[in-house]
């Protein structure tokens, strides 16, 4: 009679209870793996952004205020030898939407010459860069945008021609040619195109405004980024266009708050879920311990050493937790693999995808919770006095 | 005679550890559920105060929010031809040209680590007649002066907006506007805004166009017909009723709420199973006792009801604990939230409050969870074979 056999037999004896516990354990574990998958995805995006060492320079009052594009030269002039910065890319918000759709796509006009350098994480090959440079209407589009629209609008694909109407005055409608699809999660939801195309089109519409909302400065290192952050804001202080410089993650944090702080909520959710599954497992183990006190007494009378009794009860709890976790994690995993959420297109949920790390962590945490929940009943079982146990009536 | 309630109540204390654990499971689920319901109803409450049927917001044709709309003053004059506007004492039609810009202000709840885009609205004196829900808590700003008034929600959530503070506005952020007072709007979204004199703000931002024009309709006029007229060939602008406008701005929040709602729903189902588990154990442990009750004359239905009561008691205790936990969390971690409108790029602040309606909803939900969880165990208890049960060890 092996350990595993005893544990399995115990779980099979009160099948109803085992089933109920498994469901009560599996459902919150499903929520847990979802929550931490999202957190993992966001942390990954944060790390990616941090590695890219980009400093965003925008107007101090609000991002909406436009900065003159001559500012790019001034920023570059702060470091003529390019010791601290690699390149500067000016960007202007276009907020283009497919005319039939309600929500605008995150679309930005970027300086054509520096975009491939500052956004080297877009992964543009020399051929991509050539296509981008040659074609005035070139657009580099995140996979999230493609996923979201490709079914309804088949032109959303590599090489497709799409037309977007700006949601900011003068509401230009421009045609673009998708020359590259970005596969990186941190750029999944953005649609980039050339700023010279926008500036010329604006001019044709009678608006002579070669201006930017933000300049992204690619820095050579983390220290250089901090130095430049101070230097740039100092350079433009007391001018008509005072700036505020932030690294990419600080820039994103203000938006995260305004989008309901989903990461914070998921964090809280994950903690509550852990409490719940811990209690579910603990409850079941207490119940089955109580009902089996006499049986454990028999084991003891037969000469099972206390540590063995301890292990039997603990293993049962751990096994219950592990099975429950797998039942909860697997469907979420399969669901995320076959239905990637970028189709929903809402940030930051869209960055959610099946992450092996999240699944492993969930499983390990579940097992740890099973062990913690089984500890007290197991300890009590070990300490049981054989005579008392045999005398006890359930 | 029904089973006395004290019997069920006392039963809960026989198995203390199981009762406590089950209560805590319920409490955790209810805590999250209450937060969610609180969030949603606070948002709905705020929006429900923005459904003035006699008010229409006019935007540039094709634009989706005030932030990205620009209406030249001569175009705004076209609205004068509308016959359905209410008039003021002097016989002037009630139309309020407004300019909306934004200022980046530190959030109080994280001590200014992150910044929020707060809407700044330039208005004329007519605005107060077009938006009658605005209630000044002190004097208004004076037209032509560098003065602003601040909505109570904005003052509460964002830094530097107390009366007497100077807030730097203008395109270059270099014109100091003194906060001369606060205003409330029954909790409507405008409470998150800063209001100042239209002409001074327009020149500070070197703008020549308005963002929007708000109209007040005469009593009994059909808003839909007016919207159709505004969108028609003579005017060619976009008109939205106030409630339509705000419903559109919250479409992204609603998706977010839906997702959180699904997660809480899943956890509630788990709670049902947890209760079922506890109740089955309770029934199994009391087989002989139930048989005894049946023998002394209690009917199966009374036994069934007894177990349902017991489970509902259990859930309600957990529910109350969960409510308390949620209230404690809100008072410790802060109950302020702000969210972007879908297209406005300005943030809308609100507070999560646990009113009586939310308490009733949460406890109702938890009672339902308790009932559902106990249904099968209680049914099993009521179907017990008395003779067989008495014989059992």
Residue-wise pLDDT tens digits, B210-229: 999 999 999 888 889 899 99
Question: Which sign, positive or negative, has the C-alpha torsion A295, A300, A303, A304?
Answer: positive
Q: In angstroms, rounded to a whole number, what is the distance separating the alpha carbons of residues B58 and B67?
A: 12
Cβ pair B97, B77 in contact under 8 A? no
Average pLDDT, chain A: 87
Kindly tell me if the per-residue pLDDT of B363 is higher than 70. Answer: yes
Q: Which of A329-333, B65-69, B74-78 has the lowest mean pLDDT?
A: B65-69
Kindly tell me if the per-residue pLDDT of B179 is higher than 90. Answer: yes
Quote the pLDDT of residue A394: 47
Quote the pLDDT of residue B92: 86
Kindly tell me if the per-residue pLDDT of B347 is higher than 80. Answer: yes
Q: In angstroms, rounded to a whole number, what is the distance separating the alpha carbons of residues B318 and B331?
A: 20
Name the residue facing B102 among A64, A272, A275 (closest C-beta): A64
Distance from CA of B88 to the nearest CA of A (A): 33
Distance from CA of B102 to the nearest CA of A (A): 7
Break chain B into its structural domains and give their ranges.
5-48+251-391, 61-236
The structure tokens 């579910």 sit at A280
CB within 8 Å: A24 and B273: yes
**pLDDT tens sequence across A93-127:** 998 989 888 778 889 999 999 999 999 989 999 99
Q: How confident is the model at residue A128 (pLDDT cuts 50, 70, 90)?
A: very high
Q: Is B211 an interface residue toward A (CB < 8 Å)?
A: no
Q: Which of the residues A56, A58, A280 would you substitute to probe the B interface, choosing the one with the greatest number of B C-beta atoms within 10 Å?
A: A280
Which residue, A204, A139, A209, A141, is CA-closest to A177?
A: A139
CB within 8 Å: B277 and A17: yes
Name the residue facing B285 among A261, A286, A394 (closest C-beta): A394
Share of chain A above pLDDT 90, in %: 38
Cα–Cα distance list, A62 to A74, A245, B59, B195 (Å): 20, 12, 22, 17
Kindly tell me if the per-residue pLDDT of B299 is higher than 60. Answer: yes
Quote the pLDDT of residue A281: 87
Quote the pLDDT of residue B393: 53
Burial, B305: exposed, middle or buried (Cβ in 10 Å; 0-12, 13-18, 19+)?
middle
**pLDDT tens sequence across A141-191:** 998 889 888 888 999 999 999 999 988 878 899 999 999 999 887 888 899
Residues of A in contact with B170 (CB under 8 A): 61
Quote the pLDDT of residue A350: 61
Average pLDDT value for residue range B102-120 = 88
Average pLDDT, chain B: 88
**pLDDT tens sequence across B230-254:** 998 888 899 999 888 888 887 777 7
Kindly tell me if the per-residue pLDDT of B117 is higher than 80. Answer: yes
* Higher-scoring residue by pLDDT: A393, A115: A115
Nearest CA in chain A to B339: A258
Residues of A in contact with B248 (CB under 8 A): 102
- Strand B175-184 with B135-136, pairing: antiparallel
Cα–Cα distance list, A138 to A135, A177, A196, B89 (Å): 5, 5, 11, 58
* pTM to 2 decimal places: 0.81
Q: Is A209 an interface residue toward B (CB < 8 Å)?
A: no
Q: How confident is the model at residue A139 (pLDDT cuts 50, 70, 90)?
A: very high
Cβ pair B109, B151 in contact under 8 A? no
Question: Helix, strand or coil for residue B383?
Answer: coil
Average pLDDT value for residue range B313-321 = 93
Quote the pLDDT of residue A217: 95
Cβ–Cβ pairs < 8 A, chains A and B: 178
Kindly tell me if the per-residue pLDDT of A344 is higher than 70. Answer: no
Quote the pLDDT of residue B45: 82
- Strand A106-110 with A85-93, pairing: antiparallel
CB within 8 Å: B25 and A280: yes
ipTM tops 0.85: no
Average pLDDT value for residue range A66-94 = 92
């Amino acid at each position: 009679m092996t350990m595993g056999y005893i544990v399995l037999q115990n779980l099979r004896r009160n099948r109803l209870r085992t089933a109920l516990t498994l469901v009560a354990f599996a459902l919150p574990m499903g929520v847990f793996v979802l929550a931490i998958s999202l957190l993992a995805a966001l942390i990954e995006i944060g790390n990616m952004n941090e590695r890219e060492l980009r400093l965003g320079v925008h107007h101090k009052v609000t991002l909406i205020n436009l900065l003159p594009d001559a500012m790019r030269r001034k920023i570059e002039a702060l470091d003529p030898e390019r010791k601290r910065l690699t390149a500067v890319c000016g960007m202007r918000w276009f907020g283009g939407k497919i005319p039939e759709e309600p929500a605008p796509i995150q679309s930005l006009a970027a300086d054509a010459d520096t975009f491939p350098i500052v956004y080297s994480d877009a992964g543009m090959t020399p051929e991509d860069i050539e296509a981008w440079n040659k074609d005035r209407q070139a657009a580099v589009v995140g996979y999230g945008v493609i996923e979201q629209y490709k079914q309804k609008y088949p032109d959303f694909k590599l090489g497709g021609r799409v037309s977007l109407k700006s949601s900011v005055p003068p509401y230009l409608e421009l045609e673009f040619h998708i020359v590259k699809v970005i596969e990186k999660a941190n750029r999944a939801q953005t649609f980039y195109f050339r700023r010279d195309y926008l500036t010329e089109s604006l001019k044709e519409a009678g608006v002579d405004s070669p201006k930017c909302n933000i300049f992204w400065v690619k820095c050579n290192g983390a220290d250089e980024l901090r130095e430049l952050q101070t230097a740039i804001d100092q350079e433009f202080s007391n001018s008509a266009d005072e700036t505020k410089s932030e690294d990419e993650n600080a820039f994103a944090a203000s938006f995260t708050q305004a989008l309901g702080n989903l990461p914070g909520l998921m964090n809280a959710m994950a903690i509550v879920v852990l409490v719940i599954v811990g209690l579910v497992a603990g409850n079941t183990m207490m119940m089955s311990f109580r009902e089996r006190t006499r049986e454990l007494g028999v084991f003891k009378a037969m000469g099972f050493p206390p540590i063995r009794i301890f292990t039997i009860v603990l293993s049962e709890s751990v096994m219950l937790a592990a099975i429950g976790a797998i039942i909860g994690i697997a469907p979420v995993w399969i669901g995320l693999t076959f239905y990637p959420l970028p189709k929903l297109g809402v940030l930051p949920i869209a960055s959610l995808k099946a992450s092996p790390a999240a699944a492993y962590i969930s499983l390990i945490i579940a097992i740890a919770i099973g062990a913690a929940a089984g500890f007290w009943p197991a300890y009590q079982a070990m300490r049981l006095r054989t005579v008392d146990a045999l005398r006890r009536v359930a | 005679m029904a089973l006395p309630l004290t019997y069920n109540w006392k039963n809960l204390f026989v198995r203390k550890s199981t009762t406590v654990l089950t209560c805590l499971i319920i409490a955790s689920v209810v805590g999250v559920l209450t937060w969610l319901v609180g969030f949603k109803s606070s948002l709905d409450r705020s929006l429900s105060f923005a459904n003035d049927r006699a008010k229409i917001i006019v935007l540039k044709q094709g634009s989706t929010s005030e932030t990205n709309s620009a209406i030249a003053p001569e175009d705004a004059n076209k609205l004068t031809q509308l016959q359905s506007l209410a008039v003021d004492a002097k016989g002037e039609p009630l139309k309020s040209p407004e300019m909306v810009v934004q200022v980046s202000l530190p959030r109080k709840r994280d001590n200014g680590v992150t910044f929020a885009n707060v809407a700044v609205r330039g208005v004329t004196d007519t605005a107060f007649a077009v938006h009658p829900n605005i209630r000044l808590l002190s004097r208004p700003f004076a037209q032509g002066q560098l003065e602003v008034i601040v909505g109570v929600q904005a003052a509460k959530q964002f830094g530097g907006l107390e009366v007497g503070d100077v807030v730097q506005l203008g395109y270059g952020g270099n014109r100091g506007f003194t906060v001369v007072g606060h205003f409330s709007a029954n909790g409507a979204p405008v409470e998150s805004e800063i209001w100042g004199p239209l002409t001074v703000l327009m020149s500070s931002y070197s703008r020549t166009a308005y963002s929007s024009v708000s109209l007040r309709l005469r009593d009994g006029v059909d808003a839909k017909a007016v919207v159709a007229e505004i969108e028609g060939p003579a005017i060619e602008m976009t008109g939205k009723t106030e409630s339509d406008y705000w419903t559109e701005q919250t479409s992204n929040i609603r998706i977010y709420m839906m997702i959180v709602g699904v997660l809480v729903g899943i956890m509630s189902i788990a709670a049902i199973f947890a209760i079922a588990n506890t109740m089955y154990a309770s029934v199994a442990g009391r087989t002989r006792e139930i048989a005894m009750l049946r023998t002394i004359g209690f009917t199966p239905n009374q036994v069934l009801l007894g177990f349902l009561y017991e489970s509902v008691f259990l859930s309600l205790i957990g529910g109350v604990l969960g409510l308390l936990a949620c209230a404690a969390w809100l008072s410790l971690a802060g109950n302020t939230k702000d969210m972007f409108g879908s297209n406005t790029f300005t943030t809308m602040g609100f507070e999560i409050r646990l009113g009586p309606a939310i308490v009733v909803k949460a406890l109702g939900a938890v009672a339902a969870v308790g009932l559902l969880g106990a249904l099968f165990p209680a049914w099993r208890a009521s179907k017990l074979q008395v003779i067989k049960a008495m014989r059992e060890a």
